[in-house]
Amino acid sequence: MIKWNEVTWYSQIAAIALFIVVFAVGFFFGKSAEQTKTAEAVRKAVAVVSQGEVVEKPLSDVVFTCNNKKTIETKFYKDRAYFSLSDGRRGTLPLLISVSGTSRYANKDESFVFWTKGKGASIQEGATTTYAGCVTP
């Protein structure tokens, strides 16, 4: 028979079991929330990188206005340039060795080359200059 107003051995065991269950459930939900926050932070970091954005601060951020109302938005870093063209194309090109004060950024086979010198720039795709007469104010 259950004695509701009295502490018995089985009520003590029930209280201890209840305490352990409540503690375990709290611990489980706390760990789960922590893992969710960590996973969300990783997802955000991966999303930033996959969108072409770079966590590192650029050395300069320049917009070139070219012939035929074309533009090249560029973020220059120590060893590369991130570009966004007015036709919607985007990418990152490594800085390559060049001569006479020009900077040359190109893909591996050099079928796409972004040239800069002073306040001017151009883009060569194959043998064709697709962005010409580009200047920055």
Q: What is the mean pLDDT of residues 120-127?
A: 94
What is the reported pLDDT for 1?
65
Q: State whether residue 18 is helix, strand or coil.
A: helix
Assess whether pLDDT exceeds 90 at residue 56.
Answer: no
What is the reported pLDDT for 47?
58
pLDDT in tens, 78-112: 899 999 999 999 999 999 987 778 899 999 999 99
The CA angle 65-63-107, to the nearest 5 degrees, is 95
Judge contact between 19 and 26, C-beta under 8 A.
no
What is the reported pLDDT for 31?
75
State which of 11-25, 51-65, 113-127 shows the largest mean pLDDT. Answer: 113-127
pLDDT band at 50 (very low <50, low <70, confident <90, very high): low
pLDDT in tens, 23-40: 888 888 877 777 776 666
Residue labelled with tokens 């893992």: 35
- What is the C-alpha separation between 68 and 70, in angstroms, rounded? 6
What is the reported pLDDT for 49?
54
Average pLDDT of the chain?
85
